[in-house]
Structure 1
Amino acid sequence: MTSAQDITRSVNPPRAAFLDFPLGHTTGKPHESDLQRQILVEALTSFETMTAPGSMKELPFRWSEDEEWKAKAFAEGDDRTPRHDTPQYQDEEDRRRAVQGGSPSCPVCRP
C-alpha cells in the first residue's frame, strides 16, 4: 500500500494499492476504524485480482471533498521526525530487548 504513487512506480513492486491520502495515513484517517477496514479490504482484494507485474490499483477513497489538503501539505513542508544513522529506542526496555534479540514471546523477533 502506498500514498506516494511516483516513488512506488519507480521501485516497481509486484503489486501496489495507491491511496491518495497524506503521507503517514496510508490505511486511512485516525480513529475511523470502519474506513480503515474498508481501505484494507479493498487493497487486499485488489492484490488478489492484479496479475500483471507492476500493477497499481488506485483505491476509490478520498481524504476530503476537495484537494486543499494537498496544497496545505506542500506549503507546510516536512515535519517528520529527523532520521538517524544509529538505532533510536522508545525507552530503556525497548533498547534492552533489541540488544538481547527481541522478545522471546514475539514470533517475529525470535532469532
Structure 2
Amino acid sequence: MGLIQRIAEEAGIPTISMGNMADRMERIKPPRALLVKFPRGSMMGEPGNVERQRRIILDALNALKTMKTPGAIQELPYAWKR
C-alpha cells in the first residue's frame, strides 16, 4: 500500500492509510498513516457503530490536511468496545 500511496502523492493526489500494526506502518512508511487500536479487518470500528465510523472518516479527512511530515503516523484515540 505504501508504494501505491507514494506514486499517487507524486501525482499530486494526497493519501492516507489506516492500520493497526505500528511496526509494519513504520517499516512501510506510507506518506501519512493513522493507527487504530482495532482488530484486523475492522479499521473503521465496530460493525453498526455508525457514529464512531463517521468520526473516524472525518478524522482521516482532517489528517489529510493537517499531517505535514512525510511518514507521519498519528494514533487515533478510539478503543475497541467489544
Which TM bucket (shorter chain)? 0.7 to 0.9
Kindly indicate whether residue 26 of structure 2 is the aligned counterpart of residue 26 of structure 1.
Answer: no
**1:15 is matched with which residue: 32, 41, 48?**
32
Q: Any stretches of 5+ residues in structure 1 without a counterpart?
A: 70-111
Q: Which structure shows the higher strand fraction?
A: 2
Between 1 and 2, higher relative CO (CA 8 Å, sep ≥ 6) is seen in 2
CA distance in 2, matches of 1:4, 1:25: 13
Identity between Structure 1 and Structure 2 (%): 37
**How far has the Cα of 1:4 moved from its partner?**
1.6
Give structure 1 regions of 4+ aligned residues with deviation exceeding 4 angstroms.
none
Larger Rg: 1
| Alignment correspondent of 2:54 | 37
List gaps (5 residues or longer) in structure 2: 1-17
C-alpha RMSD over aligned residues: 1.3
The one-letter code of the counterpart of 1:26 is M
Which amino acid letter does the alignment assign opposite residue 52 of structure 1? Answer: T
With normalisation by structure 1, the TM-score equals 0.55
The question of 1:49 aligning with 2:74 is answered: no
